[in-house]
Amino acid sequence: MTLLEQADANFQELRFLTDDELRSRMHEQASAEKAAIRAALDAGRVYVIAGKDARRVHFHDCPSLREQVDRDRAWSRWLQGEVEDFRQAVAHGDGGPRMPELLSRTTVEALSTYVTCQVCSPTLSHVRKRHGERTTKLTSLTSRHVSRSLNALDGTWLGQLQRIVTTVDAQGSTIEIETTVCSFTENQHAAVLVGPPANDTHQ
């Protein structure tokens, strides 16, 4: 069934309900959605992705998502407004506030790209994960990584890899990484995000 066909079917189902019946249906839907969100949170799905241009990850209680996650607030516009407005919205494929999709950390981390919200700062492996980046220990960097773009795990750009210096002494071995903008050791960054080659522009 297409979206237009679904919208028409929904409208046909609701068009003959009285205003009181339709308002009662909206209350039932809001209650069902609140139960669904509680079940998701209980199952550990505490992250929400929003945004059209970037996958921006929020924690479920982020202030910027209050109008979505709090289903009483989300439905207040419809429940306090004219019932006929809701009927017409259903006819056009709307019929209620957008329901957020709650995801587990495993699901979010499996995404190829995402950016974390700066307001709620959700706990994830990266602040900004970009397509093509791989988490690599400093001890695993080799000559094939030279000219690659490096980022700290918190998203801070570290420059493009220029040289890997390994020093061996009585205390053991140490690795120092030199890039186009800085140098650092394992004590400062045990692992980094290895991205595109140097001919790709850093954003």
pLDDT tens by residue, 88-135: 777 666 667 888 889 999 898 888 778 888 899 898 877 776 666 677
* Phi-psi category of residue 161: left, alpha or beta, with phi > 0 → left and psi -120 to 50 → alpha: beta
Task: Decide if pLDDT at 3 tops 50.
Answer: no
For 30-59, what is the mean pLDDT? 88
**Quick check: pTM over 0.75?**
no
For 175-187, what is the mean pLDDT? 92
Nearest to 4 by CA among 85, 83, 90: 90
pLDDT of residue 148: 87
45: which 2 tokens? 């799905």
User: CA-CA distance, 104 to 129, in Å (whole number)?
Assistant: 17
Task: Decide if pLDDT at 61 tops 70.
Answer: yes
Q: How far is CA 199 from the centre of its chain?
A: 28
Poorest-confidence range of 62-71, 146-155, 168-177, 178-187? 146-155
User: CA-CA distance, 161 to 181, in Å (whole number)?
Assistant: 9
Task: Decide if pLDDT at 39 tops 80.
Answer: yes
SS (H, E, C) the chain: CCHHHHHHHHHHHHCCCCHHHHHHHHHHHHHHHHHHHHHHHHCCCCEEEECCCCCEEEECCCHHHHHHHCHHHHHHHHHHCCHHHHHHHHHCCCCCCCCCCEECHHHHHCCCCEEECCCCCCCCCCCEECCCCEEEEHHHCCHHHCCEEEECCCCCEEEEEEEEEEEEECCEEEEEEEECCCEEECCCCCEEEEEEECCCCCC
